[in-house]
Amino acid sequence: MPASGSIPNGSAETRVNASLMAPIVGINFGNSYASIAVLVKDGVAECIANEDGERQIACAISFQGEEMYIGNQAKHQLVKNSQNTITGFRNLLGKKFSEVPTATLSVSAPVIQHPTLPDTPAYKVKVLQPAPSPLPTTTLNTPAASQAATPRSEPIEVERFLTISEVTTIFLGSLLKSAEDFLGHKVIGAVISVPSSFDDVQRDALSKAAEEAGICVLQLLDDAGAVAVCTSIGDDNVPCDRTQLVVDLGASSLELSLLSIREGLAYSLATLSDSSVGGDEIDSKLVRYFAKEFTKKTKTPLTVAPSTDPQDERAEAKLRLAVEHTKRTLSASPGAATCSVESLKDGLDYTGSINRLRFDMEIRSIYDKVYAKVKELVASAEIDLFDVDEIVYIGGSACLPGLDETLTEGFTESVITPFKAGTVVGGGVGDPTTILARGCALQAHLLFSLTHESAHLGSAFIRGSGLESVAATSRTIGLLVPREGAEGNMGGIWIPLVLKETPLPCRRTLTFDDVDVGAAGAKVGFEVWEVKEGIKISHVSPPKFDDDEEPVEDGEAELDEVKEKTLTKEVYLVSCTLTPQNAVNGKTKVQVQVMISRSGSIDLSLCEVSKDGFGEAVTVIIPGTS
């Protein structure tokens, strides 16, 4: 059975009043990069830059003497100061030292057991701190000039142990300062993204670290929920009812989510997490490729990923920094991208290049792994790839066109992706590098407005709240207008009213103009059915072209697989008829409204609409059928 649950988010009709400019932010806290988003104008959420001009802020902290660096400056310390540089700490939040994976790729300070806290992971770094002031040596007979000339002691190097929570607090505190510097005033609340794989202990650890950093956490929002918010508010290019696949290809793992979005409300159909697939694996393949090219050009041996020799370790750190730029170039350009490193090894510089075709060949196995996991996820939700209407990507590694080309081969041609929409870069709705932060910012303002309007509504977003867990329809409910000789197995005109996997309770209204009622006293009516949706697979011969070679013998030609969606009447619910009283020239206007409660009972009403208002409604109640 598919894993189900609700992901609360704003309605598609929600628009935030940007004139309020409340001091609320959204924070995407990833394992490799973080970003901050605020609402700037017209309800648009944008990522802001920190004091170093970075919108994508590396999750890295480095200690160099008396200085502490955070962000990309810290990441560059991995080359010469890796033992004092900390990266990849988010995923370790809430974990015991005995739970830390030993096979995790580490190019920074290693995770060790804290010397005084049992089973607690920590980092050991060396820092310079001021030496203790010497005891005063002045006496009543000592001249003031000689007192002033007393030399100050030099800073001394000490070892400092930092827990994962302390590192997280330092980093989140820097994000808070950047946001407050940009806004010009204090931040009173934030929504922070969190992967669906985080358990309650890890969520609590993140909340505690954020609060110690001075951040009032309004909500820890699942990554998939942030995507649903961002893609449902202000984007008129996608249908309001759709099945959405979220592909989060992070540095250390692959997170997949399948969502049913109905009128802006998101319902989780299934999730999947795989730590064996990630952006680090892409980087490792690129690093090995360029190291091999370097050895071929210079005849200097270079062993990387993994590397044991100190010189090779430093060369690998340089290559990992360089290939990030290479990946970004390949994401934005169909041509070749370069990788340049000064003094890669033994004082030798290196400049190499790789085109997109070669790049895709090198990491084809990763694309195939992601595709296999996507098929596994969709199968667990008991649907077909053909049922997916939209694919959304998260993370810098997901910006690769080759990944999109691989995945879309199995979906319908009409599937919506950021690459097809042209919003994969530049801060657009589908930009994988900013989508989480922008979704969190929109959610933060929604929560801020709800808290002021209704405390009851605001409580629905608290984890563990009874309002957070909802049911959903299992089949599509719609209207069937019988017609003799109608094509297909429905036997009439089918009008979907409430799609399957719609969160409950819900209400839908359809208005039909110019309904032909014929002679006076004729009735307007329809049947209400639950239908089962399926996929029909057929195999057909591929189209032939004039320049094709001689046809092969029957049975030897490969057939193309063709899929089409099917509908089958499953459960008859009720018939409903109405005698119009205000028909004009044999036509009238009719409105149908259906309300489905949390328990599944259906309240259906049919009424005539005229210039004088609504006529008397015909109402039917069907208890607990969904």
pLDDT tens profile 393-434: 998 888 889 999 999 988 988 898 888 877 665 555 668 889
Residues linked to residue 567 through DSSP beta bridges, in sequence order: 533
Superfamily of domain 472-540+559-622: Substrate Binding Domain Of DNAk; Chain A, domain 1 (2.60.34.10)
Domain ranges of the chain: 19-130+153-233+433-469, 279-360, 472-540+559-622
CA distance to 147, 511, 571, per residue, from 531 (Å)? 93, 21, 7
Q: Report which of residues 147 and 581 the model is more confident about.
A: 581
Domain pair 279-360 / 472-540+559-622, same fold:
no
In this model, does residue 316 exceed pLDDT 90? yes
- Name 481's Cβ contacts closer than 8 Å, sequence gap at least 6: 492, 493, 495, 526, 527
Mean pLDDT of the chain: 84
**What pLDDT shows up at residue 19?**
39
Superfamily of domain 19-130+153-233+433-469: ATPase, nucleotide binding domain (3.30.420.40)
**What pLDDT shows up at residue 6?**
44
In this model, does residue 18 exceed pLDDT 60? no
In this model, does residue 201 exceed pLDDT 50? yes
- Give residue 83's pLDDT band: very low, low, confident or very high (50, 70, 90): very high
**What pLDDT shows up at residue 555?**
53
Q: Residue 313 is encoded by which pair of tokens?
A: 């370790």
User: What's the rounded mean pLDDT across residues 90-118?
Assistant: 87
Extended beta strands in 263-384, E state: 265-274, 337-345, 348-354
In this model, does residue 70 exceed pLDDT 50? yes
Most confident among 29-43, 353-367, 475-489, 602-616 (mean pLDDT): 353-367
The C-alpha atoms of residue 206 and residue 201 are separated, in whole angstroms, by: 9
**What pLDDT shows up at residue 266?**
87
User: What's the rounded mean pLDDT across residues 141-146?
Assistant: 52
In this model, does residue 452 exceed pLDDT 70? no
Of 61, 107, 75, 84, nearest to 310 by C-alpha is: 107
pLDDT tens profile 382-397: 999 999 999 999 988 8
User: What's the rounded mean pLDDT across residues 187-194?
Assistant: 95
The C-alpha atoms of residue 93 and residue 204 are separated, in whole angstroms, by: 9
**What pLDDT shows up at residue 465?**
57
**What pLDDT shows up at residue 557?**
62
Q: Which CATH class is domain 279-360?
A: alpha beta
pLDDT tens profile 461-514: 666 555 566 788 888 999 998 877 666 677 788 999 999 999 888 999 999 988
The C-alpha atoms of residue 451 and residue 436 are separated, in whole angstroms, by: 22
- Give residue 61's pLDDT band: very low, low, confident or very high (50, 70, 90): very high
Question: Of 19-28, 29-38, 251-260, 349-358, which range is least confident?
Answer: 19-28
